[in-house]
Amino acid sequence: MRNVIDVLDLSVEEIEELIAVADDIMANPTKYQEVCKHKILATLFFEPSTRTRLSFESAMLSLGGEVLGFSEASSSSAAKGESIADTVSVVSGYADIIAMRHPKEGAPLVASAHSCVPIINAGDGGHYHPTQTLTDLLTIRHEIGRFDDLTIGFCGDLKFGRTVHSLIEAMSRYKGIKFVLISPPELKLPSFVKEEFIKNKGIEYVQTSSLEEVMGELDILYMTRVQKERFFNEEDYLRLKDSFVLTEDKMALARADMRVLHPLPRVNEIDTAVDNDPRASYFRQAHYGRYIRMALIMKLLEVSA
Amino acid sequence: MNIDSIKNGIVIDHIAAGKGMQLYRLLKLDELDCSVAIIKNVASKKMGRKDIIKVDAAIEVDLDVIGFVDPEATVNVIRDSKLVEKKTIPTPRELVNVIRCKNPRCITSVEPGLNHVFKLTDEKNKVYRCLYCESKPN
Ligand SMILES: [Zn+2]
């Protein structure tokens, strides 16, 4: 039995396999519409994330399976103080696979120790979010066509941005990668990501707080939200927020084949005027999420078309 | 207790100056009934200054804890006033309930009965990280 807690739980070869299956699902959806018939996915969301939950549920329903679960801690046994160990020991008897979102870092790893069915981490605090990363990888493959020799800019909240951490991890396994880390000093990448996946692997990187300066060298710009509550005071937030907003002016500095990704939801960090730019890939990216999750569920349930 | 001569016990020597108290705490020597001496800032030819801990009882100390705090320390076992064994200090790959994760966003802060586990993630720089949240100990 396999779990996916961290994107590195999957080898580079397995990621290629998932991408191939996702591609085939996109090309022949009817072939897959009953492969998970009579299987149940439990979505245990201890904090709300409608988008991620719907993406998982849509994926399972598209495979002919069923879904059950809860969408916030207050409607679950966690509100009564039940431990993760106990919740999962019970629920793993009700489902064939579990997707779990939790505000605390490492919660899905704890769950995996007590579950008799596969656990998928659907986001744990500021730590990891592997299925978003698989979505990002499928997007990069479709929009750019390769994983090697890429200069990838990450912009915004790199400290708490779990999607950033997971994508850096995943991309650190490919050749010719360069990372450009664009954030206010308060929201710099945490040490576990920088040391383990960039410095120790000898990967080239730059840190900057100016998006304009680096725009022209990027193959990919991965945008994230800069949230007000991450700042100690309103002044710092107001002073900094516009530097990390993507506008048409900034897009004019980018290359013609550059792509903009964003895990969504967006607030104001990408000006809506950018949406019509063909380089804006974020809405297409959201659609890829469903197909790669279908491929992952099939892999963990060991079913094929 | 004469701190110069122990009859049966252990001497943890060559502890980097300032780390003696931490070692005392993590080895839970405060829970012992026998005499324990921490000698701080002893002049040392090799190290300049060092700390020494002497325990006047033939106890087993957790060498993993010593390997975590200061792998350069030495452990001498004394029996009948003679040095009978010098223990080699390992670099532990995993620390279970030796130190606690202090990250308030870590699952260890809320889940009852969970072991605090730290793994050696960078052997060269002796970096340990929480198994759950990957924070470094502080
Ligand atoms: Zn932790």
User: What ipTM goes with this model?
Assistant: 0.89
> CA nearest A165 in B: which residue?
B134
Residue B138 has pLDDT above 90, yes or no: no
Answer yes or no: do B102 and B83 share one domain: no
Answer yes or no: do B61 and B103 share one domain: no
Domain that holds residue A55: 7-128+289-301
Beta strands in chain A (DSSP E): 40-45, 66-70, 97-102, 119-124, 151-155, 178-182, 204-208, 220-223, 259-261
Q: Which residues of B touch A (CB under 8 A)?
A: 103, 105-114, 121-122, 127, 129-136
The whole-number pLDDT of residue A75 equals 65
Dist. CA A299–CA A2, nearest whole Å: 9
The whole-number pLDDT of residue B30 equals 93
Answer yes or no: do B78 and B122 share one domain: no
Contact list in B for residue A109 (CB cut-off 8 A) is 107, 131-132
Residue A239 has pLDDT above 80, yes or no: no
Ligand 1 centre and the CA of A209: distance in Å?
29
* Residue B137 located in a structural domain: no
Answer yes or no: do A45 and A165 share one domain: no
Dist. CA A113–CA B115, nearest whole Å: 12
* Residue A193 located in a structural domain: yes
Provide the token pair at A156. Answer: 């915004």
pLDDT tens for A185-231 read 889 999 889 998 999 999 999 999 999 999 999 999 999 988 777 77
Number of other CB atoms surrounding residue A142 within 10 Å: 17
> CA nearest B114 in A: which residue?
A110
User: Looking at residues A81-92, what average pLDDT do you find?
Assistant: 93
**Is A104 close to B113, i.e. CB distance below 8 A?**
no
Residue A182 maps to which CATH number?
A: 3.40.50.1370
* Residue B2 located in a structural domain: no
The whole-number pLDDT of residue B4 equals 66
The whole-number pLDDT of residue A76 equals 65
The whole-number pLDDT of residue A178 equals 98
What average pLDDT is seen over chain B? 92
User: Looking at residues A51-72, what average pLDDT do you find?
Assistant: 96
The whole-number pLDDT of residue A78 equals 66
**Is B112 close to A84, i.e. CB distance below 8 A?**
no
Answer yes or no: do B105 and B80 share one domain: no
Answer yes or no: do B73 and B112 share one domain: no
pTM score: 0.89
Contact criterion met (CB below 8 Å) for B13 and B34: no
Residue B13 maps to which CATH number?
A: 3.30.70.140
Residue B1 has pLDDT above 70, yes or no: no
Residue A179 has pLDDT above 60, yes or no: yes
Dist. CA A106–CA A117, nearest whole Å: 18
Residue type, B81: S
Say which range, B98-102, B103-107, B120-124, has the weakest mean pLDDT: B120-124
Residue A138 has pLDDT above 80, yes or no: yes
Distances from the Cα of A63 to the Cαs of A60, A162, A218, in angstroms? 5, 28, 37
Query: What's the gap between Cα B17 and its chain centre?
Result: 13
Residue B50 has pLDDT above 80, yes or no: yes
Measure A181 CA to nearest chain B CA, in Å. 20
User: Looking at residues A129-147, what average pLDDT do you find?
Assistant: 97
Structural domain tally of chain A? 2
The answer to whether A48 contacts chain B (CB < 8 Å) is no
Residue B2 has pLDDT above 60, yes or no: no
pLDDT tens for A7-42 read 999 999 999 999 999 999 999 999 999 999 999 999
Ligand 1 centre and the CA of A240: distance in Å?
30
Q: What percent of chain A has pLDDT over 90?
A: 83
* Residue B136 located in a structural domain: no
